[in-house]
Structure 1
Amino acid sequence: MTPLLRDADERDLAAVAALYGREVEGGTATFETTPPTLDEMAGRFAAVRRHGLPWLVAEIDGRFAGYAYASPFRPRPAYRYGVEGSIYVEEAARGHGVGRALLAALIARARAMGLRHVIGAISDSDTSAASIALHRSLGFRQAGVYRQVGWKFERWLDVTLMQLDMAPDGDPPSGPGLDLTGGLT
């Protein structure tokens, strides 16, 4: 079962919103507590695309298996060479290389854009050890931990920050970076 990756489009948003909504209501990969509406998710999708950043969908045997996208790391101009990657995988598709394929594709796209950093913010959950191991296997290093910063499901949650530096020698940027004037919602 090799995942097929493609650019997401508006037809994918119902599946994206459903997967994300399940994680909001039952998981800790996001600190949101109310699932966004389909319209809200469409706005987030449009904001990512306005920045020229990738939003990918994975399919296995023609069925939606997960999605990933890159968003600006922070809104200030000095951060324009870094993105944060977000990955969500359907429960039935976990353990089949979907997360790895999506993250590797995000890294390749960020590199091709001349960006320098990909950041992962991994919150506590039953799968956080696997997510940290996945990031580490693709060259990320742990940059720090925010301790007990999220309160969800009657418990405190940490966030582990992982960072991939795609130009570790400190060379100057090769391009203009992201245009951060469009803003994200």
Structure 2
Amino acid sequence: MGTDVGAVITEKNASGASQCLVRSATPADIPYITAIYSRFVTTSTATSEMTAPAEPEMFRRWRAVLDRGLPYLVAELEGYVVGFCYASQFRPREGYRYTVEDSIYVRPDCIGHGVGRLLLSDLIGQCREKGCHSMVACILGVNPSSIALHTTLGFQQVGQLPDAAYKFGEWLHLLIMQRLL
């Protein structure tokens, strides 16, 4: 995946030469989304998924989000997709139709450079415009950067499920955060 994009964000944003663009994801982004997500599946506890899904499955998931009328976004910097996020219905029952759950993944070399904040801020705004009332973040395992990002954007911890998932030989807690839109 080319250059140290994290350095590009830091250096060029300070001079105003380069900006991270948040836009709707397209089918052409699926290989990059798949690569970013696959790394999280295989190396972290940020997701409970054990086997990285292939591009056709990631395309199906992208399509399912759009079919529900919800946003699926990517962050692009100098031609590179450096992160993605989307909203999905929190629970399948009709009574939950105004509550969405966010999912956000940023390339490791871009974490801490504002990509996640740009993505999640845009996602919050688009969900608000679509009439969503509440956004939930379900943060698995030890993930201080995700907790900090969500806290910065107004999410509050509303619950925790101990030993909610098992991955890499350990039990992981699930932190639940929420923000009213």
Fold match (TM-score > 0.5): yes
2:99 alignment counterpart:
82
In the alignment, does 2:36 pair up with 1:19? yes
2:175 alignment counterpart:
160
In the alignment, does 2:118 pair up with 1:101? yes
Gaps of 5+ in 2: 1-8, 10-18
**Cα distance in 2, alignment partners of residues 159 and 46 from structure 1:** 27
Contact 1:3 1:97 in 2 (8 A): no
Contact 1:66 1:98 in 2 (8 A): yes
AA in 2 matched with 1:15 = Y
1:68 maps to which of 61, 73, 85: 85
Gaps of 5+ in 1: 167-185
In the alignment, does 2:162 pair up with 1:136? no
2:57 alignment counterpart:
40
Partner SS for 1:119: strand
AA in 2 matched with 1:147 = P
Deviation, structure 1 residue 98: 0.5
Contact 1:3 1:60 in 2 (8 A): yes
Give the alignment's Cα RMSD to 1 decimal: 0.9
2:27 alignment counterpart:
10
Runs of 4+ aligned structure 1 residues displaced above 6 Å come to: none
Deviation, structure 1 residue 62: 2.1
User: 1:46-65 alignment to 2 at 5 Å?
Assistant: 46-65=63-82
> Which structure features the higher share of helix residues?
2
Partner SS for 1:41: helix
Contact 1:29 1:122 in 2 (8 A): yes
Deviation string for 1:107-146 (max 9, x for gaps)? 0001001110010001113xx1221121111111101001
